[in-house]
Structures are given as C-alpha cells and as structure tokens.
Amino acid sequence: MRSARDIAEHVNSGGSAVQVVEEALERIHADTSNAFREVFDQSALTSAAEIDRRIIAGESAGPLAGVPVAIKDNICTREGRTSCGSKMLEKYRSPFDATVVTRLQDAGAVVVGKVNCDEFAMGSSTETCHFGPVKNPADPSRVPGGSSGGSAAAVAAGLVPVALGSDTGGSIRQPAAFCGVTGFKPSYGQVSRWGLVAFASSLDQIGPFTTDTADAALVFGVLRGGDPNDGTCEPSPAKPCQIKPADLKGMRVGVPIQATTDGNAKSVSKMMAEVRDQMSKAGAEMVEVDLSLLDQGISTYYVIATAEASSNLARFDGIRYGHRAHAPGAGPDELMALSRSEGFGAEVRRRILLGTYVLSAGYYDAYYNRALKIRRMIRDEYLKAFATCDVLISPTTPSTAFELGGITDPVEMYLCDRYTVGANIAGIPGISIPFGEDEQSLPLGLQLLAAPFADEQLLNAAASIEALRDQAGIRGARNA
Amino acid sequence: MSEIDNTAVQKVASLARLHLGPAERDSVRKDLVKVLDHVQSLASVDVEGVEPLNNPHELSNALREDTPSAPLPTDEILNLAPATHDAWIAVPKVLGEGS
C-alpha cells in the first residue's frame, strides 16, 4: 500500500481518487480482523468523485487529496453511527462532524468508515468492544492493543494509510506498537477534541496512525490549530507541519532509568540496547534520566481518568439518546440505572464505580486530590528532564502483543500502559514507531517523548531514528 | 487490603446510577479491592505543599463570543431519543401522586 503522501501526490497530479478509494474498499471488505465497525462505501465514492472533479476543473484538492482515512468509533461523524464500541450507543448517529473529521475532509481526505475500539476507549486490547474483539494483523491469535485497536489494525493490515485514534493513557501509542505502525499523540491542546466522545477530558487527545513519521506529520498539519468549540485547544492558527529529520549528532537523548528494568520482556530490553547503541554511534548524547515517579504513573492515571470518566459518562442516562431499558412502570431513577447497567459493559461499569468511589465524600482527599498533586510532581519531573534533554526514549510497552483472552486481571491489563500514561498526565507529545520484532516476529515499538508543544521537534527526531532503523535493515512498519 | 465491603459497593453503585445483582456485586468488589490496593502506592508519596494540577497546561477559561449560531436540527435530535411525544422527549412520570 502507498503512503498518504504518495496517494495525495498521485491524485493531485491527475490520478483517480475514485480508483484509490475503490481499492481501499475492496481491501476493507476482504479483511477478517474486525477492524471496521462500518464501511461508508457510498459516501466515500461520492467524495472521491468530487475530488476527481475538482482536480479536472483545476481547483485545489488539498494535501490529503484522495487519501482513504478510517475514524475511531468514538469520534463523531454525521455519516454512519458513532457507537464508541458500546451497546449504549449501538444505534447512535451523530448530528454533527467532529472538527478533526471536517478538517480531514477539507484537506481532501476520504472517510471510508469507522473502526472498532474498546468500549468508550476503556481498555488496552480492544477486547471490551461490544462488537467483538479486533485481531492483530501480525498474528490473529493476539490482541491489537487498545483502545484504538481497530485504527492500528486497519493501517497495519494495509486497508488504509491513515486512521484517527484517541489517546487518554496510551490508546494510540500502545496499539501502534502492538501492530507495528506509527502512532502519534500530540501535546494536549494541539488538536481539537470537539466531537470526540469524552472519556477523561484533561487527558484525551486525538492523533493519527500512519506507516511512518512523515505521514504522521502531514496529517498532524491538517488536524492541528485552534477551534472555538474546544476551549482547551491552543488558539494557534492551522498550519502545515514540515518534517525535517533532526541531526542526531549532538542530540541529547534521555533514557529513564526506570524504563530499563527487569520488568520488560527480553526482546524489549534488547531493542532498547540496540536503539541506544545505534543512536550513540550516530553521535547522539545518551543521558540517563531519573523519573522517580514513573512507577506512580499508573495509579495516578487510574484515579484521575476514572474520576473524570464517572463524571463524563453520567450523560448516558437512557433519556435523551442512547440505550433505554424496557421497564414499564419504572420511575426516572430506576429507568436510568437499568438503562446504564444494560448499556455499559463490565469494564466501563468498573471504571465508573472506581471513579465514583475516589470522588465520594471521605475518599476525595485520599485519592483524587492526592493524585492531582502527584500529577503536578510527575509533570514537573518531565519538565526538568526536558530542560537538559531534547527527547526521552523508552519502550512503548513492556512486552509485545499478548494473546486474545490472555490477560483477565484488571491491574495487569492497566500495567500495559506503564510507559505511556506519563505523556497524558503531563500533556506532552509522544510517538511510537515500529522498531524491529521479537523472536515470534511480533512488532516492537519505540516511544519518544518531547516537551509540551515541541511536537515538530519530536517528529523530526522520530524521522531520524526511522532512517537509522532503515539503514540498519531493522523491520519497520507493517502495512499488509 | 483496602476496606470496601458489599454495602460500600452498593452505595457507590447507587451514586453512579448502576444496578448490580448480588453475584456481580461481589465480583465488582473484588476487582475494586485489587485496583484500590494498587492505587495505595500513592499514599507513600510526600505531597506536602504541592498544589493539585487539574490540567497539564494550567489553562484558564477560554470563552467564545456570545454570538448566535445555527442550532443542531431539532428533528435529528428528537430522532435520537428512545421515546418521544410530539416535539418532546418522553420520560417516566417524575412527579408522583402526593409529591
């Protein structure tokens, strides 16, 4: 499959967008990974024909002309359903498009459908999806990661060159690592969240899945920029993102001591050693960094994220939209409780209960308020690290993709996000790039983090490491 | 071990407007104990003098100009409701006899 850059160039110079989209639809219909929840055959072909018409008429068609894009099921589209992987919203049709969807379409991208995710983005394996688990294209007996598992699988299986996901604690980077593609979570506030069904509003951020960093930068340039509908979005103007691979010579690369522990799988430790070796040979200065609070990340994250989720998900009451229980004679409170219990799956109910607990009288200070204080300490630790380092590197995940049904303990599942939650807690940008494979040919992911709003610097560094990887003949992205 | 019994689970469930059957209540309690035990590690961090951080970039409110714009189409919104009556969303009787 071609990159988004190649497709846009092909279409902008007269190649048929309809043909590009027809081929994508064909691949999607033949796919068996359950990545797609819904395919927009008709509207996608109509949009592609409109792109072709514009180009023939000599009009500009945009930097993503004719690029087929898949959208995570928790991002609102007027076309089709927006179900968030939940029975609660199984039939829900959004009356508006998310800002990111409008921006993609204005840039010429063609939305070909919605992709599955963990229910309300709560999970690390896409197994909590009400519409069945997604299989990892690298090994169908394994999970694709989560929560944006459908987005990662759609790119890794070569169905589309670009998919959007959302990342609250690693939901873009972790599945990107598990499936062997690039997943980029921008700084909090770089991309509008208008139309993203909220999970944890101070942590959520939308970002792209692609096969390489240059495509991630291309899509990021289209997505970013202020939005009057999202007060947390930086009011900067939209502008393209020009990628320029950074010079590794003299680059200061921090490696957290806590990220090179025995807790990592052997293949993951080996990858880290290889990366360090190659980067030092290329002239980068490798610096050991002490992120003493890294191990408090998961606890801090789960308190804050579930607290915010319990509040955000209170809107699903079975009254105005979404699932309503059939309960003749039930009063409003009972109807609400029945509708929510039927509409939400086990993991969502568990997180709502945990969030309600940590916010309840008597526990607020011990859990929620304490977690917010530790959040500041964690953020400050990152800021301190970036005072002396250009980027931080770590594994994206402690292990490669696990078997479907392989993890049933909630805490064990949460620990998959050990290296990723920090970026959400601190609001900094993070990217996972594919870097080789383990002894079972499963993809390994390398995570890079940078200072708040140093998104371009992060992408430039990632592009240089990609080049190193390719020179060394180490396996990069999967795309079919 | 975190102290959380079935009564506490029931109280939280009722605050969250969730129904839990007796069997589920017990399994949820066990899961919550596991997660809360893990989260106990936060108690070991010295947070003396640290202010809570609600938002990573400490943003202040950003308000839009108060200018009218087109509303979402009413018929589409009503179509999303599980039950309607004319141009209204139908709900169970809220005010009972004697209230």
Residue type, A318: G
Does B12 map to a domain? Answer: yes
Domain contains B25: yes
Q: Residue type at A129?
A: C
Residue B31 lies in a domain: yes
- Quick: pLDDT tens for A116-140: 999 999 999 999 999 999 999 999 9
Q: How far is B87 from chain A (nearest CA, A)?
A: 13
Interface touch B77/A366, C-beta < 8 Å: no
Determine the residue among A299, A375, A414, A424 to mutate to test chain B binding: the one whose Cβ has the most chain B Cβ atoms within 10 Å.
Answer: A299
B15 found inside a domain: yes
* B99 — pLDDT class (breaks 50, 70, 90): very low
Question: Is B36 a domain residue?
Answer: yes
Indicate whether A462 pLDDT > 90: yes
Query: Which whole-number Å values give the CA distances from A191 to A47, A224, A225, A424, in the listed order?
Result: 24, 5, 6, 14
Q: What pLDDT shows up at residue A47?
A: 98
Residue A250 touches partner B, C-beta closer than 8 Å: no
Q: Is the pLDDT of residue B1 over 70?
A: no
Partners of residue B81 in chain A, C-beta under 8 Å? 319-321
Q: Is A147 a catalytic residue?
A: yes
Strand (E) or helix (H) holding A381: helix A370-388
Q: Does the annotation mark A72 as catalytic?
A: yes
Counting one residue from A and one from B, how many pairs have CB atoms under 8 Å apart? 167
Q: Which residue has the tokens 């691979």?
A: A245
Torsion sign, CA atoms A448, A450, A456, A457: negative
Edge-to-edge strands of the sheet including A285-289? A36-39, A110-115, A68-72, A162-167, A205-210, A182-185, A430-437, A443-449, A391-395, A252-256, A285-289
Q: How much of chain A, in percent, has pLDDT values that exceed 70?
A: 100
pLDDT higher than threshold 80 for residue B2: no
Q: What pLDDT was estimated at residue B95?
A: 81
- CB within 8 Å: B18 and A333: no
Instruction: Evaluate whether A105 touches A47 at the Cβ level (below 8 Å).
Output: yes
The reply to whether B49 falls in a domain is no
pLDDT at A438 > cutoff 90:
yes
Catalytic residue check, A281: no
Q: Does A364 touch chain B (CB under 8 A)?
A: no
Does B98 map to a domain? Answer: no
At B43, the pLDDT band (50, 70, 90 cuts) reads very high
A210-235 residue pLDDT tens: 999 999 999 999 999 999 999 999 88
Q: How far is CA A256 from CA A125, A260, A447, in A?
A: 26, 7, 12
Percent pLDDT > 90 in chain B is 67
- What is this structure's pTM? 0.97
Question: Whole domain around residue B38: which residue ranges?
Answer: 6-44
Average pLDDT for A86-105: 97
Cβ B42–A369 below 8 Å, yes or no?
no
DSSP of A425-450: HHT--EEEEEEEE-TTS-EEEEEEE-
CA distance B32 to chain A (A): 7
Tell me: pLDDT of A148 over 60: yes
Q: Which residues 42-71 of B have a C-beta within 8 angstroms of A?
A: 42-43, 45, 47, 50-57, 59, 61-64
pLDDT in tens, A40-49: 999 999 999 9
Strands (E), chain B: 84-85, 88-89
Count structural domains, chain B: 1
- CB of A336 less than 8 A from some CB of B: yes
The mean pLDDT value for A330-352 works out to 96
Assign residue B17 the CATH number of its domain: 1.10.20
Residue B64, pLDDT score = 84
